[in-house]
Chains A and B, each alone.
Chain A
Amino acid sequence: MVSFGHAAYFAAGGYTVAVLAQHGIDAALIAWPAAVVVAALLAAVVGALSLRTTGIFFIMITLAFAQMVFFALVAVKAWGGNDGLPLDARSVLPGIDLRNASVLYFVCLGLLVAFVALAAQLVESRFGMVLRGARSSERRTLALGFPTFRYKLIAFVVAGAGAGLSGALWAEYARFVSPDMASWTRSGEFLVMVILGGLGSLAGAVYGAAVLLGLESFLAGFTEHWMLPLGAILLVIVLFAKRGLYGWLAGTNDG
């Protein structure tokens, strides 16, 4: 199941931080959890409706919700509308100076490691077994007695919460949020990262993000038309390494 609307939760997280800052709440320990909760709630609503469908319909419904979020953000004048909302300063984390760029980097890295570790644990848990079973054969998993919808919804909410956290961190980094965060090209970028790295593996998504952003800066150093060679590289990967870079590196039998 591929969600084409993860930008919506990314934006939800970013805007939560920005709007709280606008109202004078700049404590990271309040703003970041709030961002996660707002994104998770949004994902719960979208998931409850979209997970009743599968395949192309699921992709379209998740996309439609993301577009609704995008246009809603454009419409809200109090949050800057189309122009977005700048943050006067980064949030405050007790004892850690987020104004320092490398400190912010390591905070982000630490949270990434924590989230990946959490997700990896989840995959190996009883809950994860049901989820993997449903991915492989939903019919069998239902026949065993698992209400698969509930499991998929929880996974969807966890993914939305993660996107919300990354949106919050993005807002801190850029000190700016705009409806662009929820645009469908952003969702597409997330998907490219996942496909590049390898669908269905946690490490793959991390590799994919790193490789995509790395390639982007590398190619942009040569030409302003860097998207052209990037597209060609993507094409080759999709055609020849169907399990993505990670699947290719890790061998054929390791999921």
Chain B
Amino acid sequence: MAEAALAVSGLRKAFGALVVSDDVALEVRTGECHALIGPNGAGKTTLLAQLAGEVVPDAGTIRFGGRDVTRLGPDARARLGIARSFQITTLIGDFTAEDNVALAVQARSATSMRFWKPAARDAALREPARAALVRVGLGARAGTRASDLAHGEQRLLELAIALAQEPAVLLLDEPMAGLGHDESHAMIALLREIKPAVAMLLIEHDMEAVAELADRVTVLVSGRAIASGSYAAVRTDPRVREAYLGDDG
């Protein structure tokens, strides 16, 4: 069997006495969505930050396509093909939606040390950027400043940026956060469409999205992965019900 696109083992991170990742192991295969769920403060976002290279783990290894990337910074990992979306929308506010995506296209194209030609008229950047915007349904909003977009549109733009990076691994930090009912459904449909081409790690509180998208679910509580399996298996696991899903599971 081929090696997983992203494989994590023995990952440990503590901030002083607070252990946020406690011997975490998980893997994500291409074409698969692996959901990471758990109560607030379980260490999900810190785990994602370690996978993206923003936070250096104390111990353990992160392998990307068989290669040890544990010591690489976020920019190097992004160049290898690990893209992420941010939980709190992190857009370049005074750029248009299209500029935001064009910058991601530029990051893939390896030549950013160009000092003369105006980037705004660079078809090699603009066409893929528009295509990514159309794909998430923001084609008509390409010229709008990112900070002027509605919340739901900003979440879609986050995704368009990640798609434009043409990643092999896609780390999504609560893409549904703050979306209305219809917007959530559109986002789920979009992620389902993207899934076959990438290895997707999804942090999400929206259980409907997890049920729809996840092939595997890992439950994180106090930095520990207490259960892992299909959504159906995990939701009936007594430890999980006790720790997380509570009575409404």
Q: Which residues of A are at the interface with B, using a C-beta cutoff of 8 A?
A: 121-122, 124-130, 132-133, 136-137, 139-148, 151, 255
Distance in Å from the Cβ of B142 to the closest Cβ of chain A?
A: 16
Given known A121-B115, A144-B78, A145-B107, contact A129–B94 (CB-CB < 8 A): no
Contact B118 A136 (CB under 8 A): no
Residues on B with beta carbons closer than 8 Å to the beta carbon of A128 = 115, 119
A-facing mask of B83-102, CB < 8 A → 1, else 0?
11010001111110001001
Contact A136 B93 (CB under 8 A): yes
Residues on B with beta carbons closer than 8 Å to the beta carbon of A147 = 73, 75-76
A127 vs B125: C-alpha distance when bound (angstroms)? 13
Give the most central of B95, B99, B119: most A CB within 10 Å: B119
Contact A140 B86 (CB under 8 A): yes
Contact B92 A146 (CB under 8 A): no
Within B119-134, the residues touching A (CB, 8 Å) are: 119-120, 122, 125
Contact A137 B90 (CB under 8 A): yes
A108 vs B116: C-alpha distance when bound (angstroms)? 23
Residues on A with beta carbons closer than 8 Å to the beta carbon of B218 = none
Residues on A with beta carbons closer than 8 Å to the beta carbon of B102 = 129
Contact B161 A144 (CB under 8 A): yes
Contact A148 B119 (CB under 8 A): no
Give the most central of A126, A128, A129, A151: most B CB within 10 Å: A126
Q: Which residue in A127, A133, A137 is a CB contact (below 8 Å) of B113?
A: A127
- 10 closest Cβ pairs, A-B complex: A145-B78, A145-B107, A145-B79, A144-B107, A126-B114, A136-B92, A124-B118, A142-B74, A140-B90, A129-B119
A132 vs B100: C-alpha distance when bound (angstroms)? 11
Q: Is B103 an interface residue (CB 8 A)?
A: yes
A142 vs B99: C-alpha distance when bound (angstroms)? 16
A3 vs B46: C-alpha distance when bound (angstroms)? 33
Whose C-beta in chain B lies nearest to the C-beta of A135?
A: B92
Contact B115 A133 (CB under 8 A): no
Contact A143 B119 (CB under 8 A): no
Residues on A with beta carbons closer than 8 Å to the beta carbon of B78 = 142-145
Whose C-beta in chain B lies nearest to the C-beta of A144?
A: B107
Q: Which residue in B73, B92, B114 is a CB contact (below 8 Å) of A133?
A: B92
Contact B93 A125 (CB under 8 A): no
With contacts A125-B118, A128-B115, A145-B108 known, what are 9 further pairs, Cβ within 8 A? A125-B115, A129-B103, A130-B112, A132-B95, A136-B92, A139-B86, A145-B79, A145-B107, A147-B76
Residues on A with beta carbons closer than 8 Å to the beta carbon of B114 = 125-127
Distance in Å from the Cβ of B123 to the closest Cβ of chain A?
A: 13
Given known A125-B117, A127-B115, A128-B119, contact A255–B94 (CB-CB < 8 A): yes
Q: Is B240 an interface residue (CB 8 A)?
A: no
Q: Which residue in A125, A133, A137, A142 is a CB contact (below 8 Å) of B116?
A: A125
Q: Is B104 an interface residue (CB 8 A)?
A: yes
Contact A121 B116 (CB under 8 A): yes
Whose C-beta in chain A lies nearest to the C-beta of B124?
A: A126
Given known A132-B92, A142-B74, contact A126–B111 (CB-CB < 8 A): yes
A151 vs B114: C-alpha distance when bound (angstroms)? 11
Distance in Å from the Cβ of A131 to the closest Cβ of chain B?
A: 10
Q: Is B27 an interface residue (CB 8 A)?
A: no
Residues on A with beta carbons closer than 8 Å to the beta carbon of B73 = 142, 147
Q: Which residue in A121, A126, A137, A140 is a CB contact (below 8 Å) of B112?
A: A126
Contact B115 A145 (CB under 8 A): no
Contact B104 A144 (CB under 8 A): yes
Contact B54 A136 (CB under 8 A): no
Contact B106 A148 (CB under 8 A): no
